[in-house]
C-alpha cells in the first residue's frame, strides 16, 4: 500500500544567461538548496519559451538564451525558509508555488 504525502512544489522560471555572483543562477540556486538541506532540486533547460515581454527565448549559436526551470519539492516550512533567499538571488523571472502530493519510491 502506498500513501501520498503533502508537499509544496516551487518552480523558478528565468533565463539561461541569468547570473548570481558570477555563476549561473541555476547553479547558485541548487547550491543554496543543498546548503539549506532542501529535499531536492532539478534544473531543466527549455527548448523555447517566452515571458512577460513576449520575446521568444531559444537556442542561438552565439548567445545563451534558452529558458531555465528549476523545480524544488519540499515541505511548506522548508520552502518558506528558502523563498526569501531565492527572491533575493533573482533579478528577473517568475516563481510559481503549488500544493502537490508525492509518493517516494525506494526499493
Confidence check: pLDDT of 102 > 80: yes
Q: 65: pLDDT confidence band, cut at 50, 70 and 90?
A: confident
Residue 95 lies in a domain: yes
- With 80 as the cut, is the pLDDT of residue 61 above it? no
Q: Residue 42: give its domain's CATH number.
A: 3.30.70.120
Residue-range definition of the domain harbouring residue 65: 5-102
Would residue 43 count as lying in a domain?
yes
For 14-52, the pLDDT digits (tens) are 999 899 999 999 999 999 999 999 999 999 998 777 766
Do strands 19-20 and 48-49 pair parallel, antiparallel, or not at all (unpaired)? unpaired
pLDDT at 63: 66
Domain assignment present for 107 = no
Task: Say what the alpha-carbon torsion angle 37, 82, 87, 54 is, to the nearest 10 degrees.
Answer: 80
pLDDT at 57 over 80: no
Q: State how many domains the chain has.
A: 1
Residue of higher predicted confidence among 75 and 50: 75
Residue 102, classed as helix, strand or coil, is strand
Full-model pTM? 0.86
pLDDT at 59: 67
In this structure, is residue 52 part of a structural domain?
yes
d(CA 104, CA 106): 6
Query: How much of the chain is helix, strand and coil, in % rounded to 5?
Result: 25, 40, 40
pLDDT at 85 over 90: yes
Amino acid at each position: 500500500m502506498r500513501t501520498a504525502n503533502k508537499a509544496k512544489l516551487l518552480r523558478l522560471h528565468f533565463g539561461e544567461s541569468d547570473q548570481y555572483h558570477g555563476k549561473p543562477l541555476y547553479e547558485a540556486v541548487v547550491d543554496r538548496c543543498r546548503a539549506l538541506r532542501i529535499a531536492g532540486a532539478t534544473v531543466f533547460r527549455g527548448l523555447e519559451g517566452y515571458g512577460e515581454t513576449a520575446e521568444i527565448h531559444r537556442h542561438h549559436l552565439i548567445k545563451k538564451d534558452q529558458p531555465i526551470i528549476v523545480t524544488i519539492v519540499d515541505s511548506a516550512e522548508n520552502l518558506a525558509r528558502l523563498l526569501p533567499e531565492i527572491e533575493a538571488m533573482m533579478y528577473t523571472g517568475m516563481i510559481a508555488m503549488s500544493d502537490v502530493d508525492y509518493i517516494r519510491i525506494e526499493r
